Amino acid sequence: MVRKDYIPNTDFYIFQEPGNFSFGTDSLMLLDFSIAKGKVVDLGCGTGILSLGLAARSNVEIIYSVDIQTDVLELLKKSIAENKLGNKVIPVLSGIEDFMKVHPIYPNAVIMNPPYFENDIENEKENHRISRHHLGIEPWIATASKMLQTKGTLELVYRPQRLAELTEIMRKYRIEPKVWQFVRTKAQSQAKSVLVRGVKDGGTGLKIMPDIITHYEDGKIRNWTNDLIER
């Protein structure tokens, strides 16, 4: 059943289908972390939480929302109509590696919540399989680098245990990691995700921001947006 949900810190709503694909806290954290402005490409946009959230910002000119799944783009189109964002959010049905062939766009920023896992992991829900399983992060980084302007930003959320691999691939494609921010359930927990910002042809120098702690020691959920003290 399709549900209309409020997008935090905006005046917008998003249509999604719980049980198939809907946004999680990773995307909300990435949205708050993001400094994207100007022309933006949202790779693997899903139902469009990142695109719609960025559309609320006056310094974001236009967002191209790219996904290979027809059903999620149909939900995004419904959200675009609901929020009257037809001139600011442009849905594009395309695989990530084919996008530039049809849309030679050179954005100021690329943002993405890419798949974390490998293709040999099975998932009984097909759209979750498409959204969360892949052949590796490299095609995503290569595509972002190909389209980004010099000094353009790439922002993504990823798994900390694969951060070394991610850094190597980013540098291979001339994107220098500039900011990391780890997300932990509790202060002493292993990091469960990491927010990453890189700059195309950027100089060396990495800032590690204070961790985001999502829960108090007693298990209650924190207002973790207070931890995003700078971007």
Assigned domain for 208 exists: no
Residue pair 170/141 in contact (Cβ under 8 Å)? The answer is yes
**Each residue's pLDDT tens digit, 75-123:** 999 999 999 999 999 999 999 888 888 888 899 999 999 876 443 333 3
Q: Please provide the average confidence, as pLDDT, over all residues in the chain.
A: 87
Is residue 37 classed exposed, middle or buried when 0-12, 13-18 and 19+ CB atoms within 10 A define those classes?
middle
CA neighbor of 51 nearest in space, from 18, 25, 86, 19:
86
Q: Give the domain extent around 86.
A: 25-174
Q: Which percentage of the chain shows pLDDT scores above 90?
A: 70
Q: Is 10 within a domain?
A: no
Write out the two tokens for 185. 């359930």
Tokens 């000119």 sit on residue: 61
Residue 64 lies in a domain: yes
Taking only the tens place, the pLDDT of each residue in 5-15 is: 999 889 999 99
Residue 132: band (very low, low, confident or very high) from pLDDT cuts 50, 70, 90: very low
- When divided into structural domains, the chain yields a total of 1
Between 55-64, 196-205, 219-228, the lowest mean confidence (pLDDT) is in: 219-228
Does 3 fall in a domain? Answer: no
Q: Within a domain: residue 50? A: yes
Residue at 231 is within a domain: no
Question: For residue 111, what is the domain's CATH number?
Answer: 3.40.50.150
Write down the pTM of the prediction.
Answer: 0.88
**What type of residue sits at position 140?**
W
Residue 77 domain flag:
yes
DSSP conformation class of 85: -
Angle of the 163-172 helix axis to the 138-147 helix axis, nearest 10? 40
